[in-house]
Chains A and B, each alone.
Chain A
Amino acid sequence: MRTYILKRILSGILLVIGLLLFTFFLVRLSPGNPASIGYDPLKSSQSMSRLEKVWGLDQPVHTQFYAWVTGILHGDFGRSYSNHKPVTELLKQTIPNTLLLTVPALVIQVVVGILLGLIQIIRHNTWLDRFISSFTLFIYAIPAFWLALILIMLFSQKFGWLPSSQMISFSYDSLSLWQKFLDRCVHLLLPVLTMSLTSIGITSRYIRNGLVDIMDKTYITAARARGLSEKRIIFKHALRNTLVPVITVTGQYFPVLISSSVVIELIFSWPGMGRLVVLSSYARDYPVIIACTFLMAVFVVLGTLLADILNAIVDPRIRLQEKV
């Protein structure tokens, strides 16, 4: 198990190094000069050159890369060109907000997805099974931004039940602790619902199809023949064996949720990392774009690593591979 985890961590580190190179050079290849943003043509061109010098853009690319990597190793992602603040500070402000969206969305996706998949297998080949399949597929096919707009139109504009944007109300400071908690929850509802609804279909389909496949296996027939109850067969024997693909997909889907938060955060004016990436792209704010892209890539690696470790815990065949 230890060797397995170490191998996974090592391959994760190699992947991150590759991503460092890729992210940095890809952004540098993009057209345009960050120093030209906000450049006033009436002023001398010296001011642009001065900015390039301050930001180190006049240096050869490999020197810039070396300086950037050295900075990262010291926990410094540089300074934002547009906000004039350290990137680390911006990330500290925005990452928790993004996680506040994505983690509950992921939890809802997994829990509801598993429940729906189980209902489908218990009611296999009935109208309920077909209805859940069609409904989750329909929701999955809807673009997240469109679903967000529909939800805002319904629950904010038409019924006025939920806020359409921001993390907190204007009167947040004057609220009691409990009211503050409720206020945050109310603001979370629509964006989290948008993110989780579009992805519930993936988990439920994996669970359903995995269980359909497993229910035909010999050990399930053997369990039925031994007289085990259908409940015990599904929960003790079948579900346990369906979890591996679900964990893998969930691990890979976490970074996807973080990436998709770009759109959701923009629509709901959520001050998260996704919104920061979009605003920084408009400003050609290289340090912020690279840092965010790099962090998203790290999330992919961490998601996959976590899924691999969880799979090893759930599946003894993976865990004991080294010993056999």
Chain B
Amino acid sequence: MDSRDAQKNKAELSFHDVCINFNFPAFLRKKTKAVLHNINFSIKAGESFAFIGESGAGKSTIGKIILGLYKPGAGKVIYQGLSLDSILTTKLSWYRGQCQSIFQDPKASLSPKMKIKELLTEPLILMKSAAKADYDEIIRIQLEKLGLKPVLLQRYPHQLSGGEAQRICIVRALLRNPKILICDEPTSGLDISTEFEIIRLLKSLQVNNRLTLLFMTHNIYLLPHIADNVGIMYKGELIETGPVAKILNYPKHVYTQKLIQSSRYN
């Protein structure tokens, strides 16, 4: 076992040579495309790690593997020293509580025909830890923490603004007291001021709740505000990882250099 493996073993979450291929229907046959190729990284508890790369680079696929929605074709994912494979078969409901996510389009990730109250009650029903009578109070406290008014509970998702909808998604995720929060481009559909409000909110949650934050984005300018470490994704490969300041100031890979250069023009 080398030092890299030893470091990974201490990590909250780590990927070991993870590969995944997708089959696409083509004319009279199936086409296979390698979406992730030998992905290796590790994240410590309470750390904020960002994956950056263009669309189709494989960022969301990493998130979906962690959430247990995709199964890697090869390699291992380790969470708190246990293989994700065995967790998903033996401790699935516990793991679902440990690992929550928020998505790119907040309104699309809220069921359109359910009131916000109904949507926020679901995680509490799943947890079974609180009495039914306490649901309203728990939800109200969590809403207030995120600066939302209880009046929103009687609304439907289409009646919310983008920022409100994303905060509701965050509340829904936090109601399960997760250890890891996966944020898959959570601000890409929002205007710039709301984007920074959400980023500040996520950062404060990460610090105050000791959340491990996985942040997928293609906006390099967000990195200094949200992440401690960053992984650069390119065509299904993790080409470079390290602390944000180091990667931004001393990029090694040509793609990373071009990515940083292009962000200066935007």
Indicate, yes or no, whether A interacts with B. yes
Interface residues of A (CB under 8 A from B): 217-219, 221-228, 236-237, 240-241, 314-317, 320, 324
A221 to B67, CA, bound (A): 10
* Complex CA distance for A221 and B182, rounded to whole angstroms: 13
Name the distance in Å between A264's Cβ and chain B's nearest Cβ.
36
Bound-complex Cα distance A226 to B92 (A): 11
CB distance from B28 to the nearest CB of A (A): 18
Q: How far is the CB of A106 from chain B (nearest CB, A)?
A: 24
Q: B75 to chain A: closest CB distance in Å? A: 21
Are B159 and A223 interface neighbours, CB within 8 A? no
Given the interface contacts A225-B67, A226-B122, does A219 sit within 8 Å of B113 by beta carbon? no
B32 at the interface (CB under 8 A from A): no
> Nearest CB to that of A220 among chain B residues?
B111
B130 at the interface (CB under 8 A from A): no
Min distance, Cβ A212 to any Cβ of chain B, angstroms: 15
> Could you say which residues of chain A place their CB within 8 Å of the CB of B100?
225-226
Interface string of B89-129 (1 = CB under 8 A from A): 00011001101110111001111111100000011001000
Known: A219-B112, A317-B112. A226 touches B159 (CB 8 A): no
Given the interface contacts A219-B110, A241-B113, does A324 sit within 8 Å of B159 by beta carbon?
Answer: yes
B156: CB under 8 A from chain A? yes
> Complex: how many Å from CA A241 to CA B113?
7
Contact B111 A241 (CB under 8 A): yes
List B residues at the A interface (Cβ < 8 Å): 64, 67-69, 92-93, 96-97, 99-101, 103-105, 108-115, 122-123, 126, 156, 158-159, 169, 172-173, 176
Decide if A226 touches B172 in the complex (CB within 8 Å).
Answer: yes
Let me know if A218 and B172 touch, CB within 8 A.
Answer: no
Q: Most chain-A Cβ atoms within 10 A of its Cβ — which of B68, B93, B105, B111?
A: B111
Q: Cβ of A218 and Cβ of B108 under 8 Å apart?
A: yes
Most A Cβ at <10 Å: residue of B104, B110, B112: B112
CB-nearest residue of chain A relative to B94? A227
Q: For the complex formed, measure the closest distance between the CB of A122 and the CB atoms of chain B, giving whole angstroms.
A: 18
Return the contact of B103 from the options A221, A316, A324 (Cβ within 8 A): A221
Q: Which residues of A contact B69 (CB under 8 A)?
A: 221, 224-225
A317 interface neighbour in B97, B156, B176, Cβ under 8 Å:
B156
* Interfacial chain A residues near B158, Cβ < 8 Å: 316-317, 320, 324
**A234 to chain B: closest CB distance in Å?**
12
Q: How far is the CA of A237 from the CA of B108 in the complex (A)?
A: 12
Task: Give the residue name and chain of the B residue nearest to A315 (CB).
Answer: B113
The residue of chain A having its C-beta at the shortest distance from the C-beta of B101 within the complex is A225
Residue contact A222 to B109, C-beta cutoff 8 Å: yes
Nearest chain-B residue to A238 (Cβ)?
B111
Show 26 residue pairs from A and B whose CB-CB distance is below 8 angstroms, ordered by the A residue: A217-B108, A218-B103, A219-B108, A219-B112, A222-B101, A222-B109, A222-B169, A224-B69, A225-B64, A225-B67, A226-B96, A226-B101, A226-B172, A226-B173, A226-B176, A227-B92, A227-B97, A228-B122, A236-B114, A240-B113, A241-B113, A316-B113, A316-B115, A317-B112, A320-B159, A324-B158
Q: Which residues of B contact A226 (CB under 8 A)?
A: 96, 100-101, 122-123, 126, 172-173, 176
Q: Is the CB of A219 within 8 A of B109?
A: yes
Verify A218–B112 contact, CB threshold 8 A: no
Residues of A contacting B99 with CB < 8 Å? 225
Cβ contacts under 8 Å, B64 to chain A:
221, 225
CB-CB under 8 A from B123, the residues of chain A are: 226
Residue in B closest to A223 when the chains form the complex, CB atoms: B111
Closest to B115 in A: A316
Smallest Cβ distance from A157 to chain B, in angstroms? 48
A315 to B111, CA, bound (A): 11
Which residues in A have their C-beta under 8 angstroms from that of B68?
A: 225
Candidates A221, A228, A237, A314; contact of B126 at CB < 8 Å: A228
Chain B min CB distance to A37 (Å): 56
Interface centre among B100, B109, B110 (most CB of A within 10 A): B109
Kindly report which residue of chain A lies nearest to residue B68, judged by CB atoms.
A225
Cα separation A224 to B64 with both chains bound (whole Å): 10
CA distance A223 to B126 in the complex (A): 11
Contact between B93 and A227 (Cβ–Cβ < 8 Å)? yes
